[in-house]
Amino acid sequence: MTNTENLAIGFIGTGVMGSSMAGQLLKKGHPVVVYTRTKERAQELLDKGAQWAESPRAIAEQAQVVISIVGYPKDVEEVYLGEDGVVTNGREGTYLIDMTTSTPSLARKIYEEARKKGMHSIDAPVSGGDVGAKNASLSIMAGGDEEDFEFLKPIMEAMGNNVQYQGKAGAGQHTKMCNQIAIASNMIGVCEAIVYGEKAGLDPEHVLKSISSGAAGSWSLSNLAPRMIQGNFEPGFYIKHFIKDMKIALDESEKMGLELPGLSLAKSMYEKLAASGEENSGTHALYKYWAQ
């Protein structure tokens, strides 16, 4: 294989992020076959020309490149290493890109099992939320063999505008943990700033105009604070998935003997929100913590 232009791409997981990401591949002219647990969630992609597969096994039988973005590490393991999994039933020479935020250890396990079958695996989690997925402006951080990364980079560039190689298998997941650690404490600050401004009697939209372009500026402040002010807490990224990510980061940091008090605080706050029924809201619903 010398290029990726005409390769059949299998896409597993068409949720908030995956649906838009698969749509970007279709826009670029790639033949795409999709699988997700609930076929209705893939209907929009099927209407746009994607083909349907009944299982990860069926994806493995048809696709030369398989991309996944599912919910939890247990879902990733099932998709790749389960009885109907892609590695279990895959063909030599197939390329695998798991874009789920998962554990570095599982990324390495999939890489090793894939290599035994002559397959190529990289872990390539993403950042940018629903906005980044819709605009093909995701940040993609990849781990695996650099040669495989370079081969697959054009496919990833159809979904993101910042595609970086981070190192050996698992390095993409470790980089995503850095990303989530930075977001966790930042989101607390964004929410506190908006709540403070409102309590002080300020117009929060005017406050945003002043602080979002200064030293306080951040992606969350520019993209998620306006949703807080509007009372729109639909998920760009689910609270339940963010809690999963924070648990992974804390587990990994413990293995390294590293204490992360900011991340621990954020996790406890999000867990309180989830317990109150907000687990399917977007991460910016942390704003509601101060209303409890």
Q: Which residues are catalytic?
A: 176
Distance CA(99)–CA(140), nearest Å, equals 8
Distance CA(135)–CA(268), nearest Å, equals 32
Which residues, 6 or more positions from 201, have their beta carbon under 8 angstroms from its beta carbon? none
Distance CA(146)–CA(273), nearest Å, equals 40
Token code pair at residue 263: 């991340």
End-to-end CA distance of the chain: 57
Nearest Cα residue to 96 out of 113, 117, 116, 119: 119
Q: Which residue do the tokens 């020479």 mark?
A: 93
List, as one string, the DSSP characters of 140-167.
EEEES-HHHHHHHHHHHHTTEEEEEEEE
- Give, as one character, the DSSP assignment of residue 119: -
- Give, as one character, the DSSP assignment of residue 178: H
Beta pairing partners, 141: 164
Q: Which amino acid is at 3?
A: N
Token code pair at residue 1: 């294989």
